[in-house]
Structures are given as structure tokens and as C-alpha cells.
């Protein structure tokens, strides 16, 4: 059986929907559902209550970390060629190097399948650990390379991170959030523009978050976290907002208004 208010699957014997908190079997709820089905679809563009974009201040830590990684790889490249500093025997044993180097990529790919980490981030770190393991195992061969080939090995890691950071920045800058009285829209994409919609009536809880890094290093940006009964995206995070407190208040106010109009139970 489906709830006549939020449309989610519920048990036939329940009197209160566990998702939206309404009474789907009541006469009022059934009449409201019938009225909504009878309403004509408007062709007019819905009213926009709030609109927000991603702020690149959120990536200040990424830029700082990439610059630091570049400097570290240059320093390592200088000392790596000096054979007066031999590597420990454990770092020259391939049976120690490769299992240790593949532990972190293996964990990242497991998180990818659990939808906790993006696949391109896991791929980037896999390449980095493979390069580091190769440098440890083939040090004697690497120090004999010409300077151009030698430094290209060390600089490929920061170059990959710079490419990754720039691509992430371009993608995140394409994200536009738009709030209407009934839905929250997310438009994103570089080559293919996609617009996702979240019904405000299925929002279960919200929170506004701001870490110390976001407060002092990233220009005061923050995040809005939304829990909903939407099966495609039950946890939605709006990150990189300069006005995250206003965004939280506007979305929460719109959510409460639509729940009150539909005679739902709210706090």
C-alpha cells in the first residue's frame, strides 16, 4: 500500500505514515490526494524562493594541500637521487612494498562501491600509491635516468592532483541550487546538464554544519545536510555555501509550510 500523502510504500495496517507522519487512511488525506490529482499542471515557471551556488572558497584546503604536495615531491626528488641515504631493507622488499601500497586503494574502492567515495578520487590515489611503490622498488634504475625523465616521475603526482583539483572545481562551480515552494532543485554537469528535484514533503530532518577549517580557512562557508525518504538520494549535502545559515532557514521554513498545508504532524 502507498501513502496517499507522500507516496511511499507502507504497511496496510498502519494509521500513521512513518515517513511523513500523516494519516493516509483518513478522509481528509484521501480528499487532499484526490484534489492534487485533479489539479491541472501549470506551465508557468515556479516561484524561486532561494537560489545558491557553490563557492570556490570551500576548496582552499585542497589548493593548500596540492601546493604542499608539490613542494614535498620536489624535496623528495632532490634527496631521492642522493645514494648516500640508502633505503631500509623493508622498503626495498617487493613483498612488503606492494601489499602496503595497495591497502589504501583497496579500502577506497570498497568505499566507492558503498557510495562513500567518488570513483575518480579512488583512481587518483591508486595511481599515486602505485607510483610511490614503483619508486621504492626501482630506485637504482630511476636515479640513472636523464634529468627530464627523472623529474617527470616525481612531478606526475602533483600534476595529477592539480588536474583533479581543477576538474573538481569546474564541476562544483556548475552546481546551482534552486528552491521553490514544493521542490529543491539541483542543476549540475559540465558536458551534460542534469537537474534533480527533491520533494520538500519527503524531507525528514535537516542540519547545518560548519567545521573549523570551513570557518577560518575556507572563508566561512558551510553545509546543509538533508535526510529524506527519497530512495535515490536519502542523504543530500549542500556544501560550499557562503549563506548556508540563510539557506537552512529558508529550506526548513518551506518544508514546514508545505507539511502544515497538507495537515501533517510536525514538531
Poorest-pLDDT segment among 14-18, 103-107, 142-146, 161-165: 14-18
Mean pLDDT of the 198-227 span: 93
Alpha-carbon distance values, 97 to 12, 27, 93, 123, 249 (Å): 58, 69, 6, 19, 51
DSSP H helices, the chain, are 27-38, 60-80, 94-113, 119-137, 139-142, 147-173, 212-216, 244-261
Q: Identify the weakest region by mean pLDDT among 17-31, 34-48, 51-65, 136-150.
A: 34-48
pTM of the model: 0.71
Q: Is 96 helix (H, G, I), strand (E, B) or coil?
A: helix
pLDDT of residue 263: 56
> Domain 48-55+176-261 - what CATH class?
mainly beta
Q: What band does 145 get if pLDDT is binned at 50, 70 and 90?
A: confident
Q: Is 206 left (phi over 0), alpha (psi -120 to 50) or beta?
A: beta
Q: Tens digits of per-residue pLDDT, 151-200?
A: 888 888 899 999 999 999 999 999 999 999 899 999 999 888 999 999 99
Average pLDDT of the chain, as a whole number: 83
**Distance of alpha carbon 30 from alpha carbon 34, whole angstroms:** 6
Every domain of the chain and the residues it spans: 1-41, 48-55+176-261, 56-172
Say what percent of the chain tops pLDDT 90: 40
Q: What is the pLDDT of residues 13-43, one digit of tens each?
A: 666 676 666 666 655 555 555 554 444 444 3
Percent of the chain with pLDDT over 70: 81
C-alpha cell of 115?
557510495
The DSSP line for 146-164 is -HHHHHHHHHHHHHHHHHH
237 three-state secondary structure: strand
**Which grid coordinates belong to 182?**
514544493
Average pLDDT over every residue of 246-265: 83
pLDDT of 42: 43
Q: Which residue has the cell 487512511?
A: 25
pLDDT for 121: 84
Amino acid at each position: 500500500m502507498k501513502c496517499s500523502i507522500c507516496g511511499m510504500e507502507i504497511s496496510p495496517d498502519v494509521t500513521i505514515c512513518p515517513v511523513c507522519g500523516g494519516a493516509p487512511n483518513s478522509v481528509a488525506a484521501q480528499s487532499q490526494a484526490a484534489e492534487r490529482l485533479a489539479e491541472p499542471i501549470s506551465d508557468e515557471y515556479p516561484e524561486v524562493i532561494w537560489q545558491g551556488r557553490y563557492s570556490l572558497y570551500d576548496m582552499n584546503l585542497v589548493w593548500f594541500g596540492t601546493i604542499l604536495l608539490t613542494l614535498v615531491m620536489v624535496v623528495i626528488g632532490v634527496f631521492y637521487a642522493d645514494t648516500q641515504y640508502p633505503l631500509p631493507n623493508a622498503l626495498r622488499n617487493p613483498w612488503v612494498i606492494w601489499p602496503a601500497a595497495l591497502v589504501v586503494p583497496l579500502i577506497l574502492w570498497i568505499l566507492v562501491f558503498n557510495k562513500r567515495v567518488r570513483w575518480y578520487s579512488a583512481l587518483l590515489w591508486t595511481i599515486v600509491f602505485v607510483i610511490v611503490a614503483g619508486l621504492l622498488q626501482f630506485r637504482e634504475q630511476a636515479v640513472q635516468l636523464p634529468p627530464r625523465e627523472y623529474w617527470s616521475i616525481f612531478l606526475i603526482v602533483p600534476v595529477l592532483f592539480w588536474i583533479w583539483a581543477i576538474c573538481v572545481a569546474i564541476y562544483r562551480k556548475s552546481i546551482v541550487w534552486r528552491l521553490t515552494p514544493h521542490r529543491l532543485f539541483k542543476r549540475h554537469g559540465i558536458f551534460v546538464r542534469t537537474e534533480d528535484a527533491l520533494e520538500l514533503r519527503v524531507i525528514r530532518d535537516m542540519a547545518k554544519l560548519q567545521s573549523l577549517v570551513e570557518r577560518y580557512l575556507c572563508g566561512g562557508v558551510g553545509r546543509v545536510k538533508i535526510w529524506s525518504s527519497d530512495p535515490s538520494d536519502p542523504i543530500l549535502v549542500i556544501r560550499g555555501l557562503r549563506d548556508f545559515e540563510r539557506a537552512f532557514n529558508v529550506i526548513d521554513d518551506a518544508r514546514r509550510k508545505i507539511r502544515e498545508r497538507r495537515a501533517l504532524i510536525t514538531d
